[in-house]
């Protein structure tokens, strides 16, 4: 999560509003000495799930103590205007993990001097035609923000916004929804309008029925597989994996030569497959269900119009495995989930619908393409992961070591 990009959406839209973003340190200590601003957005992104339990617990206790102090005795001249919890994105809606989310979670605190000013998100909501004040806020990927918005005709919509040109810019998601709507694909939000307010871009989309799924079951999985099989396929080869591997090579130049070899290894295999629209972040938290039936697939910000077939379904199973086991996705990749019985069951009708009959090499290529898409999306949303030695070791280095053995055999 890009904390600064997210927090900037709560700053005054007026450039003369004298607002500043302050990111808390590991100890959650508040220090605004020398800060001359009418609005201070302070806090920190959620902690990484792989941190030692003792360190995470200390940070959570420090977070709660500091926020309590800010509420009771805010530093002059500010007072607390708003406090927003930031649960980890992969835990916030998952049944039975509220305690873990509370410990790992981050927070945004709005401190203002004097009267409230119009924030970037308020101005975007007004520009979109919303009625009434902005209500609850939800953090999205890459530093984006979501909120429900009531329109003048009484309809309920979703407003997404992020800083223009950044990883949280909703323009890509808007493009995805427009393309899917033109192809007659249902079970996705309908794009209504988009625009730019201050330094942020926003998109208004329809609100779908249903609730975020808590736990995957066979009925939901079957609905998702059928949805993916209905996405329009293109006879031209996919370009997503090639682009993803290029982004990874740019971020990890010491692996560039090996990644180019992997590209060459994949090219003839992927050339035989059709290209399909790729969601890019298909996991249980992005599925809406009602009575165990799929009613919507949301959050298309990571989409690619020319993806490798089978990668979204593989991501869905792999993330579910990672959440249950607590493992990083790189470690899940080493288990070769594309060979699992669960993936075979999930794709039993999917591949024939595309007139594809994958052999061992094809499934291996799908696995590599899935990994490349996950890594490329992760570092785009959070560039700090590149310098996170633990994350890089588990998700990049170990996978590439295994791939090096594979391509050299």
Asked if 319 and 283 count as a contact pair (C-beta separation under 8 A), the reply is yes
pLDDT band, residue 90 (cuts 50/70/90): low
Domain boundary among 71, 93, 117: 117
Domain boundary among 117, 142, 161: 117
Token couple for 383: 């560039």
pLDDT at 92: 43
Q: Are residues 1 and 139 in the same domain?
A: no
Domain boundary among 207, 233, 264: 207
Question: What own/partner pairs with CB < 8 Å and gap ≥ 24 does 52-55 have?
Answer: none
Q: Are residues 279 and 338 in the same domain?
A: yes
Q: Using alpha carbons, select from 232, 267, 181 the residue that is nearest to residue 353.
A: 232
Domain containing 232 equals 212-408
pLDDT band, residue 142 (cuts 50/70/90): confident
Place of tokens 């809406």: 288
Over residues 124-145, the mean pLDDT reads 88
Q: Are residues 174 and 224 in the same domain?
A: no
Domain count, the chain: 3
pLDDT at 192: 95
Q: Are residues 400 and 307 in the same domain?
A: yes
Q: Is the pLDDT of residue 115 over 50?
A: yes
Asked if 120 and 198 count as a contact pair (C-beta separation under 8 A), the reply is yes
Q: Are residues 110 and 123 in the same domain?
A: no
pLDDT at 139: 87
pLDDT at 102: 77
Asked if 194 and 159 count as a contact pair (C-beta separation under 8 A), the reply is no
Token couple for 1: 């999560």
The CATH number given to whatever domain includes residue 384 is 3.90.1200.10
Q: What is the pTM of this model?
A: 0.90
Q: Are residues 301 and 394 in the same domain?
A: yes
Determine how β-strand 276-278 pairs with β-strand 304-307. Answer: antiparallel
Q: Are residues 110 and 137 in the same domain?
A: no
Q: Are residues 305 and 362 in the same domain?
A: yes
Token couple for 144: 């984006």
Q: Are residues 189 and 97 in the same domain?
A: no
Determine how β-strand 287-290 pairs with β-strand 191-197. Answer: unpaired
pLDDT at 95: 45
Q: Are residues 226 and 317 in the same domain?
A: yes
Strands of the 137-139 sheet, one edge to the other: 137-139, 145-150, 156-163, 200-206, 191-197
Over residues 26-33, the mean pLDDT reads 89
Q: Are residues 122 and 104 in the same domain?
A: no
Q: Is the pLDDT of residue 93 over 60?
A: no
Q: Are residues 243 and 387 in the same domain?
A: yes
The CATH number given to whatever domain includes residue 178 is 3.30.200.20
Q: Is the pLDDT of residue 91 over 80?
A: no
């Amino acid at each position: 999560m890009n904390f600064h990009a997210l927090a900037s959406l709560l700053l005054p839209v007026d450039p003369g509003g004298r607002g500043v973003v302050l990111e808390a340190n590991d100890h959650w200590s508040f220090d605004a000495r020398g800060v001359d601003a009418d609005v201070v957005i302070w806090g920190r992104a959620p902690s990484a799930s792989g941190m030692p339990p003792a360190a995470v617990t200390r940070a959570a206790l420090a977070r709660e103590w500091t926020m309590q102090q800010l509420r009771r005795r805010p530093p002059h001249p500010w007072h607390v205007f708003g406090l927003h919890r930031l649960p980890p994105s992969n835990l916030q809606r998952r049944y039975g993990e509220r305690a873990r989310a509370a410990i790992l979670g981050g927070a945004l605190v709005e401190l203002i001097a004097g009267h409230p000013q119009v924030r970037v998100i308020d101005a975007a909501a007004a520009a979109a035609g919303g009625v009434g004040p902005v209500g609850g806020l939800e953090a999205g990927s890459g530093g984006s923000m979501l909120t429900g918005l009531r329109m003048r005709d009484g309809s309920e919509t979703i407003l997404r916004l992020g800083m223009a040109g950044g990883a949280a810019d909703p323009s890509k998601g808007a493009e995805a929804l427009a393309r899917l709507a033109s192809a007659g694909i249902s079970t996705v939000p309908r794009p209504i309008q988009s625009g730019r307010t201050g330094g942020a871009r926003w998109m208004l989309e329809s609100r779908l029925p249903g609730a975020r799924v808590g736990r995957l079951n066979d009925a939901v999985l079957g609905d998702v597989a059928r949805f993916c099989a209905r996405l329009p396929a293109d006879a031209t080869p996919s370009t997503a994996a090639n682009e993803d591997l290029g982004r990874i090579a740019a971020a990890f130049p010491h692996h560039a030569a090996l990644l180019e070899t992997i590209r060459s290894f994949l090219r003839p295999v992927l050339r035989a497959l059709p290209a399909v629209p790729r969601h890019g972040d298909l996991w249980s938290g992005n599925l809406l269900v009602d009575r165990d039936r799929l009613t919507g697939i949301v959050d298309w910000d990571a989409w690619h119009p020319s993806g490798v077939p089978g990668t979204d379904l593989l991501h869905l199973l792999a993330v579910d495995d990672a959440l249950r086991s607590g493992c990083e996705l790189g470690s899940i990749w080493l288990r070769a989930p594309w060979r699992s019985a669960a993936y075979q069951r999930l794709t039993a009708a999917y591949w024939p619908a595309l007139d594809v009959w994958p052999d061992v090499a094809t499934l291996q290529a799908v696995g590599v393409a899935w990994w490349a898409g996950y890594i490329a999306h992760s570092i785009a949303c959070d560039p700090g992961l590149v310098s996170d030695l633990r994350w890089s070791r588990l998700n990049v280095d170990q996978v590439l070591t295994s791939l090096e053995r594979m391509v050299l055999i």
